[in-house]
């Protein structure tokens, strides 16, 4: 295995060193090819996502295929502007001169994808890598095998085989890949594995982007529109059966409106998926038996306000609302990654802020309030990778926004120009001619001291 990976990486590095990937034409062509792949072979990807996660076509199109196609188009239209060196001011004492910042490709990157959005979370980082002019090796998650197989089959047919490769397999293959010297590593997954990736990268001082998730809170203030808040939280939590890194992981609701909010949250669940969500074509499944068993154990904390039904043979766990959950319960300590939503009544917004700050910084923070002062107070007193007001889990589709975590929820940002910057080295360049070389720059400094001190601001 190591010999195979050595050979693969050497071939990608030779491609990068040839300069092939640096041109605007190559980058734009590869981005167009990504778009063509996810549109022309959409049925292959739909079938894979159904097999892996029972993801319906609407969610698969919006969250995976259309998201990738739109991001590729967005980058392709803006590449010329992103690649153009930025002109900066040259200090007077270095005139005549020209100062610029140019964005150089990093080299060959490793992209380790996640299983919950197994197409998007491989191809979206690849769009950033290509935009920056890099080669890449893709490692899809073995937990979503049908999607991994689809990528392994289609990527070589659409993209430049000299520059981009797919490696399938499990822990052994990922471990072997991480032992190599890369120019960049992009990882999406759990914080526990993120630490392993970062430790491997540290051996070669390799830059990383880590997208790690965490427990993203939703805070519902008494001023919120409860019906809208309930629908949007329900959609964000139960999309993909709760297996979304940006999903609201728990709700902190003002105690004065908690009963009314719970009623509306239950109503939203019934409206979305009916009285028997197992029969709904719009509700997904847990990815495998191991994760099913893990999530099922979390149902024992607190009181089941709604849902709670399970079927291991079908990998089905119903959309579930929990109340009266003890603070030390596992469902409030670990990222759920399933269709279980704890709802906690709090005395005040200050109490909600205190609960958020008692945990590691989350990937997302969601505030539902019509009182602007409450919104600003929460934003000022907390930290998160990103945030949304009166919505949740949709902010990643905005290409102009940086997407990524902070602290325990990750490091580094991508999407749009932020992805381009993550995959390039901002290289400062000073260009000067040799025609003018005044002596006042050089020792002895007693010579021309007044003029030198005035020009260089020495006091």
Domain map (residue ranges) of the chain: 2-212+407-426, 216-397
pLDDT of residue 458: 80
pLDDT of residue 214: 85
DSSP 360: P
* Closest alpha carbon to 359 in 403, 317, 312, 406: 406
Longest dimension (CA), the chain: 90
Which CATH architecture is the domain 216-397 placed in? 3-Layer(aba) Sandwich (3.40)
Known catalytic residues are 211, 245
Q: 210 forms bridges with which residues in the sheet?
A: 187, 411
> What pLDDT is attached to residue 1?
65
Tell me: the pLDDT tens digits for 115-168? 999 999 999 999 999 999 999 999 999 999 999 999 999 999 999 999 999 999
Q: Which helix (H) or strand (E) holds 345?
A: strand 340-346
pTM of the entire predicted model: 0.94
Instruction: Report CA 258 to chain centroid distance, whole Å.
Output: 31
Model pLDDT, residue 457: 78
Looking only at the bridges linking them, the beta strands covering 386-389 and 310-311 are unpaired
Nearest-angstrom CA–CA distance, 303 and 314:
24
- Of 220, 226, 237, give the one whose Cα is nearest residue 389: 220
3-state secondary structure 231-277: HHHHHHHHHHHHCCCCCEEEEEEECCCHHHHHHHHHHHHHHHHCCCH
CATH class of the domain comprising 2-212+407-426: alpha beta
Model confidence pLDDT, tens digit, residues 92-129: 888 899 999 999 999 999 999 999 999 999 999 999 99
Q: What parts of the chain have a pLDDT lower than 70?
A: 1
């Amino acid at each position: 295995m190591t010999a195979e990976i050595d050979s693969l990486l050497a071939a990608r590095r030779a491609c990068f060193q040839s300069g092939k990937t640096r041109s605007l034409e190559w980058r734009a062509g590869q981005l167009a090819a990504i778009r063509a792949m996810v549109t022309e072979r959409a049925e292959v990807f739909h079938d894979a996502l159904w097999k892996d996660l029972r993801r319906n076509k609407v969610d698969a199109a919006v969250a995976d295929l259309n998201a990738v196609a739109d991001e590729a188009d967005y980058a392709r239209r803006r590449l010329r502007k992103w690649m153009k060196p930025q002109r900066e001011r040259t200090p007077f004492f270095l005139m005549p001169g020209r100062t610029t910042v140019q964005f150089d490709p990093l080299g060959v990157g490793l992209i380790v994808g996640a299983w919950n959005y197994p197409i998007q979370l491989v191809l979206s980082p690849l769009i950033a890598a290509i935009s920056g002019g890099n080669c890449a090796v893709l490692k899809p998650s073995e937990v979503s095998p049908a999607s991994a197989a689809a990528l392994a089959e289609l990527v070589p047919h659409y993209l430049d085989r000299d520059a981009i490769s797919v490696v399938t397999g499990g822990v052994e293959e990922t471990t072997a890949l991480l032992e190599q010297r890369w120019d960049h590593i992009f990882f999406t997954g759990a914080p526990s594995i993120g630490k392993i990736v970062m430790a491997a990268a540290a051996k070669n001082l390799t830059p990383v982007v880590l997208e790690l998730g965490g427990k993203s809170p939703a805070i519902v203030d008494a001023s919120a529109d409860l019906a809208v808040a309930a629908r949007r939280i329900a959609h964000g939590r139960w999309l993909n059966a709760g297996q979304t890194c940006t999903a609201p992981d728990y709700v902190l609701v003002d105690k004065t409106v908690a009963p009314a909010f719970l009623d509306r949250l239950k109503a939203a669940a019934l409206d979305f998926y009916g009285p028997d969500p197992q029969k709904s074509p719009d509700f997904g499944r847990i990815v495998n038996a191991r994760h099913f068993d893990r999530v099922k154990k979390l149902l024992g904390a607190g009181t089941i306000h709604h849902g709670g039904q399970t079927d291991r043979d079908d990998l089905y766990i119903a959309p579930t609302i929990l109340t009266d959950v003890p603070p030390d319960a596992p469902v409030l300590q670990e990222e759920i990654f399933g269709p279980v939503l704890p709802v906690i009544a709090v005395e005040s917004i200050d109490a909600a802020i205190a609960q958020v700050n008692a945990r590691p910084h989350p990937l997302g923070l969601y505030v539902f309030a019509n009182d602007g002062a409450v919104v600003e107070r929460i934003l000022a007193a907390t930290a998160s990778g990103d945030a949304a007001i009166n919505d949740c889990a949709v902010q990643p589709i905005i290409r102009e926004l940086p997407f990524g975590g902070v602290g325990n929820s990750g490091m580094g940002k991508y999407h749009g120009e932020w992805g381009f910057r993550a995959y390039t080295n901002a290289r400062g360049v000073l260009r000067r001619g040799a025609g003018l070389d005044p002596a006042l720059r050089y020792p002895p400094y007693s010579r021309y001291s007044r003029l030198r001190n005035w020009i260089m601001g020495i006091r």
